[in-house]
Amino acid sequence: MSFSSMVKEELCKVAGKPCCQLAELAALLHGGASLQLARGEKRLIFRAESAVVARRAFTLLKGVFSLKPQLYAFQRGASGRKGYRVAAAGAGAELVLEATGLVKRKEGGLALSRRVPLSLLRRDCCKRAYLRGAFLAGGYLSDPEKAYHLEFTPGDEGYARSLCLFLIRRGVAAKEITRKETRLVYVKDSEQIVLLLSLMGAHAALLTMESVRVTKEVRNRVNRIVNCEQANIGKIMDAAQRQIAAIESIERNAAFQRLSPALRRMAEMRIEYPDLPLKELGELFSPPIGKSAVNHRLRKLEEIARDLNEEHGQE
C-alpha cells in the first residue's frame, strides 16, 4: 500500500466531533462531488479512488444529513482499476450541497462556490477536520523515503487559491503550481508536512515521517564521515609513497649505511609497514616513539634523499 493510502486510511479512523463532521464532509464533497440531473431528479454523486474514502463520505452523508446514500464500485475506464461512487438522490441532495457551502443560491438557480466555506469553520477543530477532508478527497503524499512532497488537486484555480490561503493561515507554507493544466497546491518541506499531518490528526504517519527523517540524517552524517576518512587514508597513502620513494633513492645512492641508526631503523620500519599511519608506526618501536618523532625522522629521510638527488643531478 502506498504511503498516501496509509495516511488516508488513518485519517478515516479519526473520530470527528459532531461539529467537525459537516466541515470534513464539506471538504470531501468539494474535492469529489457533482450534482447530476437524471430522469427529472437531482442526484448527488461523490467519486473516490479508494474504498475507505468512499465509505467515509457515505457514513458522513448518512450521519449528518440522515440521507440514504448508496455506495457502489465500478471499473474505471480501460485501466480496469476500481473506482467508488456514493450517490444520494432526492431533495436532500441539493440541501447537502448548499449546507456544505459547495453551492450558493443565486437568482433562483444554484452557483458553484470556489471558496473554502469559512462560515462553517469557526472552531479550530472544524478547521482541522476540513483539512482532513481536503486531503481525503484530493490529497497525495509521497513516500518520505523518496521525497518530501504533499499535494492537493483542488480541481479549479479559484478553489486552489482559497485552499492555499487557508493552509497558509494555519501556518503551513503551501504554494500553488500549474502542472499539466491542473492547478495544484503543494507543500515541500518535511517540517511543514509534519505540521500538516499533525493538524489533520495523522499521528502514526507523522511518527513514520519523523523516523525516516532521523534515519536519513544519520545516514548522511555517516556518509560524510566515511568520505572524510577515505580522504584522510588517501593522504596517508600519498605521504607513505613519498617516504618510500625517498628511502629507495637513498638506497640507490648507496647512502643507506651512512644513515644514523635511528634513521636507518625508521627507514626499515617504513619499508616493512608501508601503509601504517605514523602513530601506529611509532608504537612498533622499542621503546615506542611518538607520532611527532616518527614524522620528524621521515621528513629527515626525505630531506636526505632530496640532497642526494641534487648532488647526483637526479630528479
Parallel, antiparallel or unpaired: strands 103-106 and 150-152: unpaired
Q: In whole angstroms, how close is the CB of 21 to Zn ion at the nearest point?
A: 8
20 in contact with Zn ion (CB under 5 A): yes
Q: Do 31 and 155 form a contact (C-beta atoms < 8 A)?
A: yes
200 in contact with Zn ion (CB under 5 A): no
19 in contact with Zn ion (CB under 5 A): yes
At residue 274, what are phi and psi to the nearest 5 degrees? -65, -30
126 in contact with Zn ion (CB under 5 A): yes
123 in contact with Zn ion (CB under 5 A): yes
Which DSSP helix (H) or strand (E) runs through 115?
none
Show the cell assigned to 203. 499521528
Q: In whole angstroms, how close is the CB of 92 to Zn ion at the nearest point?
A: 22
Q: Which is nearer to Zn ion, 19 or 71 (CB)?
A: 19
How far the first Cα of the chain sits from its last, in Å, is: 67
Task: Please pick, from the candidates 6, 35, 103, 125, the single residue that binds Zn ion as defined by CB under 5 A.
Answer: 125
Q: In whole angstroms, how close is the CB of 29 to Zn ion at the nearest point?
A: 17
122 in contact with Zn ion (CB under 5 A): no
Q: Helices H, strands E: what count in the chain? A: 11, 10
CA–CA distance, 270 with 197 (Å, rounded to integer) = 60
The neighbouring-strand residues paired with 55 are none
Q: Which stretch binds Zn ion (CB under 5 A): 15-23, 42-50, 142-150, 234-242?
A: 15-23
CA–CA distance, 164 with 112 (Å, rounded to integer) = 19
Q: In whole angstroms, how close is the CB of 196 to Zn ion at the nearest point?
A: 18
64 in contact with Zn ion (CB under 5 A): no
131 in contact with Zn ion (CB under 5 A): no
110 in contact with Zn ion (CB under 5 A): no
At residue 167, what are phi and psi to the nearest 5 degrees? -65, -45
Q: Which residues bind Zn ion (CB under 5 A)?
A: 17, 19-20, 123, 125-126
